[in-house]
Amino acid sequence: MSTEPPAPVTKRGLARNTAGYGDPEFALYLRRSFAKSMGYSQAMLDRPVVGIVDTGSDYNNCHRTVPELIAAVKRGILAAGGLPLAFPTVSLCEPSLFPTSMHYRNLAALDTEAMLFAQPMDAAVLVGGCDKTVPAQLMAAASADVPAIQLVTGPMLATPFQGERLSACTDCRRYWAAYRAGTVSDEKIGRIEERLATTAGTCGVMGTASTMACIAEALGMMPPNTAAIPAVLAERLRAAEEAGARAVALIANPIRPSQIITEHAVENALRVLLAIGGSTNALIHLTAIAGRRGIRIDLGRLNELSDTTPVLVDLKPTGEGYMEDFHAAGGVPALLWELRDLLHGDAIDVTGATLADRLAEPEFVDRRYIRPRNDPVSPVGGLVALFGSLAPRGAIVKRSAATPALFEMEARALVFDGLEDLAARIDDPDLDVTAQDILVLKNAGPLSPAGMPEAGYLPIPKKLARAGVKDMVRISDCRMSGTAFGTIVLHVAPEAAAGGPLALAETGDRIRLSVRDRTLDLLVADDELARRRSAWRKPPLPARGWDRIVAEQVLQADEGCDLAVMR
Ligand code: FES
């Protein structure tokens, strides 16, 4: 039994945020006593505390390496003189959640923020990886404003298969589309299922998880050159150890998320999003993260940035490479060097360095995957916002993953009322559809019971797919996977469930799309729209629980789909 006297109350380490007994010294005495029940010595408990957000879960394949990463983070913290204390939070795996992981991103952010705030810690390491986890953690850190470092699990490795390489999930979609078209057999699609994701880690293409990792590094919330390290490399564990050590360094010289996530840093992150041909989802997430610091991402400004930012990274879903190629090619630091004249050099990162300080000409760049400015993948950025009578507050199209021949068109709409209607009719042999139609899905936005799933990649109707149709214009108020491709207009705002014009669209209406003019219009007379509006009814609220909170609180896509009370 220890004979040590109660330690004096300080506002560091375990002495932070003592429980409200009305007697801070007793609260600390009790806290230390309980901590000692876990075997910690007084010397350990006197150290500054680094909290480690643990999102390991048997439901989350993308986070399979989290226990090993946390062990490495702890090594780094202990060696640097800190006390590591890991704690669990909500863990979100994209394919494991109903109705969609997006429905729970704000729950993870709420949980993480509350624990960062309520528990005693001087700094934190945020360990995440899968699509919604990293944005949730960055939203939480931005609000709690505890010095914090983002560590990602890293991408999986691609797997050789019959002369090509496969990785989740662009190849999943490519092969599934071929299977639907009847060009891949039952037997082969079964074999491919076992080859798409063969190592630990997040999807191996420039999908949402990879995009968010690059954005976290571009924002400055992650140690340099750690976004793209594959999950299974020893280098990933060394990055975890470094994250732990750097978190301790942040205690002596505090740099808070509020100092890192500035307007200039957000604009740098937007440039990177555009230059990597990144996921459309990342725009929603970055908007939410920035919104936590009172920074608004204006979609008009996005278009200006998009027109002046080339796509330089050549990875799937739009190119050929995988994340392991991007890392070996030089990763985010090489990309930042290439973009240097477009970036704000005064933004600082978790090391305290300004971007200008840390920009350095890389020794080696593999130009197959990170192209020079004079030979870009595309001279303009991957994403553009559209506005018009169908999307007064905007919609997004990933032009780098779309078919340019479909960019300027006016066509008949074939409208699906929701996901059930889509599933029931899309493959009906009698469906009245041609390749020249525009497929429209409504009631799948953030306020809808569907929860804004990644359903914007509407399947090509089977009878058209079997006739060789590869792409059609598809419009919805939901999202699409960052690993998907096609001429797909997403995030229509206001959504149908909020009574946006999309709610009034009907099969047979004409829609005009112009990517050149950034417009998306529903060509229906005002009196007819007024008639339809008078018949429209707001969907009923869910009875209780998280669904009810979301239905009452969630903001539209142009505001990042955050909860109104958390901004
Ligand atoms: Fe987790 Fe793709 S499913 S990153």
**22-63 residue pLDDT tens:** 999 999 999 999 999 999 999 999 999 999 999 999 999 999
Within a domain: 562:
yes
Q: Which of 91, 96, 203, 285 to mutate to test the pocket of ligand 1 (most atoms within 8 A of CB)?
A: 203
Q: What is the pLDDT of residues 348-375, one digit of tens each?
A: 999 999 999 999 999 999 999 999 999 9
CA 201 / ligand 1 centre spacing (Å): 8
Q: Cβ atoms within 10 A of the Cβ of 434, count?
A: 12
Q: Are residues 164 and 222 in the same domain?
A: no
Q: Do the Cβ atoms of 232 and 199 come closer than 8 Å?
A: yes
CA 92 / ligand 1 centre spacing (Å): 9
Regarding the beta carbon of 131 and ligand 1, being less than 6 Å apart is answered yes
| CA angle in degrees (0–180, nearest 5) for 88-169-307 | 100
Q: Which of 59, 100, 130, 157 to mutate to test the pocket of ligand 1 (most atoms within 8 A of CB)?
A: 130
CA distance 54 to 153: 11
Amino acid at 275: A
Q: Are residues 410 and 532 in the same domain?
A: yes
CA-nearest residue, atom 3 of ligand 1? 94
Q: Are residues 148 and 174 in the same domain?
A: no
CA distance 123 to 145: 10
CA-nearest residue, atom 1 of ligand 1? 130
The separation between CA 234 and the C-alpha centre of its own chain, rounded to angstroms, equals 25
pLDDT of residue 483: 79
CATH number of the domain to which 454 belongs? 3.50.30.80
Q: Are residues 215 and 186 in the same domain?
A: no
pLDDT of residue 9: 44
CA 288 / ligand 1 centre spacing (Å): 20
- Stretches where the chain sits below pLDDT 50 are 1-3, 7-9
Q: Cβ atoms within 10 A of the Cβ of 488, count?
A: 24
Regarding the beta carbon of 94 and ligand 1, being less than 6 Å apart is answered yes
The two tokens of residue 404 are: 């340019």
Regarding the beta carbon of 202 and ligand 1, being less than 6 Å apart is answered yes
Please give the model's pTM, rounded to 2 decimal places: 0.96
The separation between CA 420 and the C-alpha centre of its own chain, rounded to angstroms, equals 26
CA 209 / ligand 1 centre spacing (Å): 6
pLDDT of residue 485: 85
Q: Which of 64, 94, 210 to mutate to test the pocket of ligand 1 (most atoms within 8 A of CB)?
A: 94
Q: Which ligand 1 atom minimizes the distance to the CA of 210?
A: 4
The number of domains in the chain is 3
The string of DSSP letters for 474-527 reads: EEESS---TT--SSEEE--SS-GGGT-GGGG--TT-EEEEETTTTEEEE---HH
Within a domain: 311:
yes
pLDDT of residue 5: 52
CA 205 / ligand 1 centre spacing (Å): 10
Q: What pairs with residue 386 in β-bridges?
A: 395
CA 157 / ligand 1 centre spacing (Å): 13
Q: Which ligand 1 atom minimizes the distance to the CA of 481?
A: 2
Within a domain: 22:
no
Within a domain: 238:
yes
| CA angle in degrees (0–180, nearest 5) for 257-262-265 | 100
Within a domain: 363:
no
Within a domain: 31:
no
CA 443 / ligand 1 centre spacing (Å): 25
Q: Are residues 85 and 232 in the same domain?
A: yes
Nearest to 106 by CA among 254, 289, 319: 289
Nearest to 197 by CA among 102, 318, 64: 64
The two tokens of residue 98 are: 């109903």
Give me the domain span that covers residue 138.
47-157+200-358
Q: Last residue of some domain: 168, 195, 222?
A: 195
Regarding the beta carbon of 62 and ligand 1, being less than 6 Å apart is answered yes
pLDDT of residue 482: 82
Q: Last residue of some domain: 324, 358, 392?
A: 358
Q: Are residues 178 and 113 in the same domain?
A: no
Q: Which ligand 1 atom minimizes the distance to the CA of 169?
A: 2
Regarding the beta carbon of 130 and ligand 1, being less than 6 Å apart is answered yes
CA 275 / ligand 1 centre spacing (Å): 21
pLDDT of residue 1: 40
Within a domain: 121:
yes
CA 242 / ligand 1 centre spacing (Å): 24
pLDDT of residue 4: 55
Regarding the beta carbon of 559 and ligand 1, being less than 6 Å apart is answered no
Strand ranges in 324-407 using DSSP code E only, listed in sequence order: 383-388, 391-398
Q: Are residues 173 and 218 in the same domain?
A: no
Q: Are residues 185 and 213 in the same domain?
A: no
Q: Which ligand 1 atom minimizes the distance to the CA of 202?
A: 4
Q: Are residues 189 and 324 in the same domain?
A: no
CA dihedral 287, 383, 379, 295 (to 10 degrees): -10
| CA angle in degrees (0–180, nearest 5) for 179-184-185 | 105
Within a domain: 561:
yes
Q: Which of 96, 131, 483 to mutate to test the pocket of ligand 1 (most atoms within 8 A of CB)?
A: 131
Phi, psi dihedral angles at 148 (to 5 degrees): -145, 150
CA distance 460 to 177: 8
The string of DSSP letters for 201-237 reads: SB-SSSSHHHHHHHHHHHHT-S-TT-SS--TTSHHHH
The string of DSSP letters for 412-469 reads: EEEEE-SHHHHHHHTT-TT----TTSEEEE-S-STTSTT-S-S--SPPPPHHHHTTT-
Q: Are residues 190 and 266 in the same domain?
A: no
The string of DSSP letters for 267-331 reads: HHHHHHHHHTT--HHHHHHHHHHHHHTT----HHHHHHHHHT--B-B-BTTTSSB-HHHHHHHTH
Regarding the beta carbon of 203 and ligand 1, being less than 6 Å apart is answered yes
Q: Are residues 537 and 424 in the same domain?
A: yes
The two tokens of residue 458 are: 């509407």
Q: Are residues 93 and 148 in the same domain?
A: yes
